Amino acid sequence: MIRNPYMPQEAEILKIFQETDINYTFRLKTDLKVKSGQFLEVSIPRIGEAPISVSDFGDGYLDLTIRKVGRVTQALHNLQPGDKFFIRGPYGNGFPIDKLKDRRLIVAAGGTGLAPVKSLINQYYNDSLEIKSLQLLAGFKSPGDILFSSELEKWSKKFPVEITVDRGSENWKGRVGLVTKLVADLDISEVENTMVIVVGPPLMMKFTTQEFVKKKISIGNIYLSFERKMSCGIGKCGHCKIDDTYVCLEGPVFEYSKAIQLLD
Amino acid sequence: MGYKIYREKFADLFHELRASYEIYAPVTKKDKGMYSDTDLITYDKVESFTEIVFDKKTFFSPKEIVFPIRQTLFYFTEDSVLEPTKLEKDIVIFARACDINSFRSLDAIFLQNGPYEDPYYKKLRQRVKFILLPCDGFENCYCACLGTNITDNYSAYVDVRDDAVYCKVKDAYWKGLWSKYGEESEVEPRYVSKNENTFEIPQKINNSIFEHQMWSEYTNRCTGCGRCTVVCPTCTCFTVHDIRYDDNSKYGERRRVWASCQIDGFTEMAGGHGYRHKQGERTRFRVLHKISDFKKRFGFQMCVGCGRCEDACQEYISLKNCIHKISEIMAEEEKV
């Protein structure tokens, strides 16, 4: 019998961290080797399966930051540490670490788009990512939607972290506005040596990327991470196909010069 | 090797073949057609040679023999995940050249695309042998434009004429069986060499086609029923669903079910975001996949020109007319 790539493996929940009202990070006990930007197919038998990006990983564990929005994710949120659910993967290409080497990196993340880049940022924080500098721009709907608050705090002591929210609140003293505004206000030195990663909702990615192009960042230096409906993760189900490209196989991370060719 | 076998003798041969194989062929389902008082011509398992319909095109393609409409991937018990293990006989499919060629597209997706072979597809596919049927073409077909009118991929060829069946056998294992029932004769497969519909398939389609107004017509006409993808011999998209049994919710299955890029929800993710909301955009996605996207990836056209999508469309949307339109638009652009 050939290996069944649809067969999921069971993984135990080590810990659950509440990030916001509806976002929780599940730390799983596993030896799977993953790269920043890859995703897993996560499932609960008799409920369903869904693609979820890996938000962080380390020795013997990986983190999935999951938003309670669908059938599978609702069910996941009923689980406790010690419970198990199923995973298969990792799938997708992940971020191009080799292309970032010795470059200045700007990461622009919108909402839960911060999850797939979190591990990359942490690698820089822990001195294991060989880049020249890092700057993070993160946008959220409201102060209550801010993900990874303690990490953002910690990161901001080592490198520039700019946070903005679409709608402020009484106690919010930070910036209000879209991520595009943060980009517009940037003063980018060494434009040619700067790499950009944009992750977030489709419209945020579209306009943020355009803003970086206005800042003279070459379209070959910008990377986007796509989010698509997927039923298999291995190039069979067809849901994530755009033109001759399968997001699950050649993506989810695309160079912008390629991404602009991928029309829906 | 060619053979001439009288009909009664061929019925015996068929009977012997059936002992070793599940045999699928075009059949008539009385009153099951698209309109009232019409019959459905479709693929089904056949018990006898006389059930087979040789002179009509099937409404559905043979793809469900290797890619069932619903297929169980896993059975769940309270604490285990089990793969289906049912073992079955080998399969024989009576098919025309276009339909045999359509399996190349299915193979490309299920066996070549991505790092893994699909084990469920492979298990069924590797059991299949084809018996080629002659073809003189049908309404809406354009196989000759795509080169899918001929094939070498068959174990035997069978042409029923008058009181005899004229056969060509390529499968060494089958030659003994055929020679037992018939006399040697010179037989070569009969293919369509020119369809009623003849046109150029565009070699290169520019991205400018995405913005073209031609698609708005399909937004107005297409109802998004998905028939075109259901009857297409090369559509392979599926969605995975879990179910729990009503009588014991701790037991259930993970299944895959045919999906259609024409139907709402194909791209929609949890949270509600999706792509291609207009039917014109969905038509464009389907058409370009069939005659361009797939070819860029695998080197040959996905569409086999069977015309079933047009046969099935309740709005009379024609893929061949759409392809023709794209060709004209691209030719016009070349000139400018």
CA neighbours closer than 13 Å in the CB half-sphere of residue A173: 0
pLDDT at B155: 97
Q: What is the DSSP letter of A155?
A: H
Contacts of A74 (CB under 8 A, 6+ apart): A68
pLDDT at A236: 98
Listed range (A57-61, A114-118, B8-12, B245-249) with the worst mean pLDDT:
B245-249
Domain boundaries, chain B: 2-65+86-184, 207-235+264-335
How many CB atoms are closer than 10 A to CB B107? Answer: 18
pLDDT at B276: 95
DSSP-assigned letters across all residues of A193-228? GEEEEEESSHHHHHHHHHHHHHTT--GGGEEEE---
H/E stretch holding A55 reads strand A48-58
One digit per residue, pLDDT tens: chain B, 336 residues?
Answer: 899 999 999 999 999 999 999 999 999 999 998 888 999 999 999 999 999 999 999 999 999 999 999 999 999 998 899 999 877 899 999 999 999 999 999 999 999 999 999 999 999 999 999 999 999 999 999 999 999 999 999 999 999 998 999 999 999 999 999 999 999 999 999 999 888 888 888 988 999 999 999 999 999 999 999 999 999 999 999 999 999 998 888 999 999 999 999 999 999 998 788 999 999 999 999 999 999 999 999 999 999 999 999 999 999 999 999 999 999 999 988 887
Provide the shortest C-alpha distance from residue A235 to chain B (in Å): 5
pLDDT band at A96 (very low <50, low <70, confident <90, very high): very high
pLDDT band at A16 (very low <50, low <70, confident <90, very high): very high
CA neighbours closer than 13 Å in the CB half-sphere of residue A201: 16
Contact between chains at B83 and A232 (C-beta distance less than 8 A): no
pLDDT at A29: 97
Domain boundaries, chain A: 9-91, 97-259
Q: Which two tokens stand for residue A158?
A: 């080592």
Q: Residue written as tokens 């066996």?
A: B111
Contact between chains at A232 and B240 (C-beta distance less than 8 A): yes
**Distance (Å, rounded) from C-alpha B216 to C-alpha A146?**
41
**Distance (Å, rounded) from C-alpha A113 to C-alpha A179?**
12
H/E stretch holding A15 reads strand A9-18
pLDDT at B248: 87
**Distance (Å, rounded) from C-alpha A244 to C-alpha B294?**
6
Q: In this complex, which of B119, B285, B296 lies closest to A4 when CB atoms are compared?
A: B119
Type of residue numbered B280: G
- pLDDT of A164-177, one tens digit each? 999 999 999 999 99
**Distance (Å, rounded) from C-alpha A105 to C-alpha A137?**
11
Beta-carbon pairs below 8 A across chains A and B: 128
With CA atoms as reference, the chain A residue closest to B295 would be: A244
Is the separation of the CB atoms in A204 and A222 below 8 Å?
no
**Distance (Å, rounded) from C-alpha B246 to C-alpha A128?**
52
Residue A1 has pLDDT above 60, yes or no: no
pLDDT at B199: 81
pLDDT at B35: 87
pLDDT at A126: 95
Phi, psi of A88 (to 5 degrees): -145, 150
Q: In this complex, which of B238, B242, B288 lies closest to A48 when CB atoms are compared?
A: B242
Provide the shortest C-alpha distance from residue B246 to chain A (in Å): 11
pLDDT at A136: 98
Mutation site for B-interface testing, chosen from A2, A6, A260 by largest number of B Cβ within 10 Å: A6
How many CB atoms are closer than 10 A to CB A258? Answer: 15
Quick one: what percent of chain A has pLDDT higher than 70? 99
Taking the CA atoms of residue A143, residue A144, residue A147 and residue A149 in that order, the dihedral angle to the nearest 10 degrees is 70
Residue A76 has pLDDT above 80, yes or no: yes
Is the separation of the CB atoms in B22 and B3 below 8 Å?
no
Q: How much is the mean pLDDT over chain A? A: 95
Quick one: what percent of chain A has pLDDT higher than 90? 95
> Is A232 part of the contact surface with chain B (CB cutoff 8 Å)?
yes
> Is A202 part of the contact surface with chain B (CB cutoff 8 Å)?
yes
Strands (E), chain B: 2-6, 21-29, 40-45, 70-76, 81-82, 90-95, 128-132, 156-161, 164-169, 183-184, 238-244, 252-258
pLDDT at B240: 97
Q: Which of A26, A129, A153, A174 is nearest to A86 (CA)?
A: A26
> Is A260 part of the contact surface with chain B (CB cutoff 8 Å)?
no
* Chain A residues touching B276 at Cβ < 8 A: 264
CATH dotted code for A9-91: 2.40.30.10
With CA atoms as reference, the chain B residue closest to A227 would be: B269
**What is the fold, at CATH topology level, of the domain defined by A97-259?**
Rossmann fold (3.40.50)
Output the CA angle A22-A28-A32, nearest 5 degrees: 130
* Chain A residues touching B267 at Cβ < 8 A: 228-229, 239, 264
β-pairing, B40-45 vs B21-29, is antiparallel
Is the separation of the CB atoms in A210 and A204 below 8 Å?
no
* Chain B residues touching A110 at Cβ < 8 A: none
Return the CA Rg of chain A.
18
Contact between chains at B266 and A239 (C-beta distance less than 8 A): yes
> Is A14 part of the contact surface with chain B (CB cutoff 8 Å)?
no
pLDDT at A2: 62
Provide the shortest C-alpha distance from residue B146 to chain A (in Å): 19
